[in-house]
Amino acid sequence: MTDLYSTPHPRFPTPNLRVTASPGVDSAAATVVLAMRADASPAVLDHALAAAHREEACLRAVVFGTDTTTALSVSPLAECTRLGEALAEAGVEFEVQRAGSDPAEQILALAEDHDARLIVMSTKRRSPVVKLLLGSSAQQVILEAECPVLLVK
């Protein structure tokens, strides 16, 4: 007899967040996770690429938006595609994902699933009121990550 009441049944399938990836990323032995905000400085990508080359690792990136309404609006899909092109030019194995509903949880899960050696994350200065109202993905990642976290302004 089938128990339809206590067994959860997802109403909708979970969407795939992967936008682009290199062919050999799934067979990579080591991983560096990049948490890239759309308005981050180019230094964030430079540090992530340096870490990937140093660790001989692939780069798995999560692209997420900003917390502010004053920043220029950028299409997340266009930003993911642009980042994928930059990573392909740099010659590393890579995967680029768009952010889901909780970027911090997604970054932490990606790092845990692939036993990441490092998380490189973009950050910016925020007022205490904004932190209180919106929370902080960087703060959650720093507190909960099992691997080292590098924050880059």
**pLDDT tens digits, one per residue of 105-124:** 999 999 999 999 999 998 87
pLDDT value, residue 107:
95
> Can you spell out the DSSP letters for 50-85?
HHHHHHT-EEEEEEE--S-SSSPP--HHHHHHHHHH
Name the phi and psi angles at 135, rounded to 5: 75, -175
pLDDT in tens, 136-149: 788 889 999 999 99
Q: How many CB atoms lie within 10 A of CB 32?
A: 31
pLDDT value, residue 126:
67
Tokens standing for 23?
């062919």
Residues of the chain scoring pLDDT < 70: 1-14, 66-75, 125-135
pLDDT value, residue 98:
92
Give the global pTM: 0.82
In sequence order, which residues have a C-beta less than 8 Å from that of residue 103 and are 6 or more positions away?
35, 62, 64, 137
